[in-house]
């Protein structure tokens, strides 16, 4: 199924590790790490079909979240609600084998995944996103598909000040430019991809 050979980062030659932007005595406003090696599946199916949710649950070990913006997580695996019939499965483990009860697409090689963590992460994303990103409206464990800097991004709040962003790979250079400019005033740190 998936080609598991290491893939070149979409940010090769674009992102350099280091500290950039405004110098903050308390540390950078945000720390950015590219998450590599994730297996990402787009799963679509009809929840009225009794087989579908149970088979997916069996394969990935997590129930499909059924309400808007809900996520499910276990060690190394996250399942994101994208729509009433679509989910995103992102896992550090081997790809789960999903039966033909679901329409499954391996989209891992088409996404750039960035982990943003830091005290100003919500302020930075809010510069280009129409969603209410306040912790009361977008708490840990909440996800959404929306726009950041005019492009479609899947946003997953994995911890209090930590967001995973799934960006279409072809937008990587543009999104990096947008993100780093938005983060400039708060100072940002880029860690080596991991």
Tell me if 168 contacts another protein by CB under 8 A.
no
Out of 46, 106, 145, 185, name the contact with another protein by CB under 8 A: 145
Q: Shortest CA distance to 108 belongs to which of 171, 156, 168, 151?
A: 168
Q: Which of 59, 62, 144, 182 binds another protein (CB under 8 A)?
A: 144
Task: Find the binder of another protein among 28, 69, 96, 108 (CB under 8 A).
Answer: 69
The answer to whether 136 contacts another protein (rule: CB under 8 A) is no
Q: Which residues in 81-100 contact another protein (CB under 8 A)?
A: 82-84, 86
Tokens standing for residue 173: 């250079």
The CA-atom distances, in angstroms, between 14 and each of 6, 65, 149, 155, 165 are 18, 35, 18, 22, 17
Closest to another protein by CB, 156 vs 190, is: 156
Return the number of the residue (50 or 147) whose C-beta is nearest another protein.
147
DSSP labels for 162-180?
EEEEEEEGGGHHHHHHHHH
Taking the complex as a whole, how short is the minimal distance between the CB of residue 68 and another protein, in angstroms?
5
Give the C-alpha separation, 102 to 86, whole Å: 10
Q: How far is CA 179 from the centre of its chain?
A: 14
Residues forming contacts to another protein in the complex (CB under 8 A) are: 68-69, 82-84, 86, 130-131, 144-147, 150, 152
């Amino acid at each position: 199924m998936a080609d598991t050979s290491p893939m070149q980062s979409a940010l090769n030659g674009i992102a350099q590790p280091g500290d950039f932007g405004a110098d903050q005595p308390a540390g950078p406003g945000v720390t950015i790490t590219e998450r590599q090696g994730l297996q990402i599946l787009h799963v679509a199916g009809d929840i009225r079909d009794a087989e579908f949710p149970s088979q997916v649950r069996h394969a990935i070990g997590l129930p499909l979240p059924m309400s808007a913006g809900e996520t499910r997580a276990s060690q190394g695996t996250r399942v994101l609600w994208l729509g009433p019939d679509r989910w995103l499965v992102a896992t550090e483990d081997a790809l789960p084998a999903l039966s033909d009860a679901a329409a499954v697409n391996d989209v891992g090689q088409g996404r750039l995944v960035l982990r943003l963590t830091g005290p100003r992460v919500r302020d930075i994303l809010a510069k280009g996103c129409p969603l209410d990103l306040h912790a009361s409206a977008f708490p840990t464990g909440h996800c959404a598909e929306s726009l950041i800097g005019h492009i479609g991004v899947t946003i997953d709040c994995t911890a209090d000040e930590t967001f995973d962003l799934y960006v279409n790979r072809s937008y990587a250079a543009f999104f990096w430019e947008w993100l780093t400019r938005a983060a400039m005033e708060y100072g940002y740190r880029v860690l080596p991809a991991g």
